[in-house]
Amino acid sequence: MPYLVSNQIQSTKVIKKITLLIKLVLAAMVKGDETRLLLEAATPFNKCCCGGAYSYISCDVRDMVKELEAQGKEADIVVGEKCRSQMWRTVGDHVTCAATYVVAPGSYKLALTLLT
């Protein structure tokens, strides 16, 4: 009889250890999930803007070009890769070059060349 009681006590201790380990593992997993969610919330745009943002930029640039033309001024536009196709459709005659044509990394001399 005492042997059965000691076995039950021993198995209860083992079960408590296993339960504790499972709780620790689950707590670590939850903490990892919380950290990932916080990082994703802090960086809403992981790699680039969405298409709607580029459409908004394209529409604003188109409106600015119209305003400049109404004032009798000319506009030269240098665009990046993502906005290039939209800009070519809307104000293609004003697009002088795309930033993909520029050698990276940029330098002060290159910036001066683009400004002139």
Q: Is the peptide bond before 105 cis (omega within 30 degrees of 0)?
A: yes
Predicted confidence at residue 71, as pLDDT, reads 92
**In whole angstroms, what is the distance from residue 41 CA to residue 38 CA?**
5
Predicted confidence at residue 10, as pLDDT, reads 86
**In whole angstroms, what is the distance from residue 80 CA to residue 88 CA?**
11
Q: What is the dihedral of CA 11, 13, 17, 22, to 10 degrees?
A: 60
DSSP letters spanning 22-86: HHHHHHHHHHHHHHHHHHHHH-SSSSS--HHHHHHHHHHHHHHHHHHHHTT----EEE-TTTHHH
Instruction: Provide block-wise average pLDDT over 10 residues at a time, the chain (116 residues).
Output: 77 89 86 73 56 78 88 83 78 77 62 67
Are 82 and 49 in contact by the 8 Å Cβ rule? The answer is yes
Q: Is the peptide bond before 44 cis (omega within 30 degrees of 0)?
A: no
Predicted confidence at residue 70, as pLDDT, reads 92
Sequence spans of domains, the chain = 1-44, 51-115
